[in-house]
Amino acid sequence: MAKIKVSLCDIPGLLIIEPTVFGDSRGWFMETYNENDMREAGIDAVFVQDNQSMSCKGVIRGLHYQKQFPQAKLVRVVVGEVFDVAVDLRPGSETFGKWHGEILSAENRKQFYIPEGFAHGFCVLSDRAEFCYKVTDFYHPNDEGGIRWNDPDVGVKWPELDVPVILSEKDKVQPHLRELMDE
């Protein structure tokens, strides 16, 4: 029924997906996931878990990844707006350490496909945001990895906020990318 528009990013593997929205005087409808459409777009990921979080303005979650059980993710926002970021951590990649950021919002309905091998995080731009994501492997708490959200060697250009950045205790002490490369 519905088709999706898929846009390539400057880092191979990252994709922006825009669903077709059908609207009339009653409101609108869209398919947020269709396995056939995804396969046609070259995404053959099998998603095993759906997650949803709510955060307030200024919260930065990330940059996180799973070490031994990597996850591809399909992320979207259902309330509010975030600046979503993926950092290439694939060994041997020509774009290792590079990042791509995208505004995701309930209004623009964009989804961001992030394959295995990337760190991921987001910053909440609206007063409140609800963030949904599908993942290709189950969460393993002892397998968490992360890099510092403001690592100067990665150089993510986070949007300027009119509130202080809010981080978890874990995200305040994540290592820099160069520390991970020394391990």
pLDDT at residue 180, rounded to an integer: 82
Residues in contact with 182: Cβ distance below 8 Å, sequence separation at least 6, in sequence order? none
- What is the CATH number that goes with domain 4-182? 2.60.120.10
pLDDT at residue 3, rounded to an integer: 85
Q: Which stretches in the chain have pLDDT values below 70?
A: 1-2, 182-183
pTM of the entire structure?
A: 0.94
The SS3 of residue 35 is helix
Closest by CA to 130, choosing from 59, 64, 63, is: 59
Q: Distance between CA 134 and CA 90 in Å, rounded?
A: 20
Give the residue numbers annotated as catalytic, written as ranges.
Answer: 64, 133
Quickly tell me which residue has 């999706």 as its tokens: 4
Dihedrals phi, psi of 177, to nearest 5 degrees: -55, -40
pLDDT at residue 183, rounded to an integer: 62
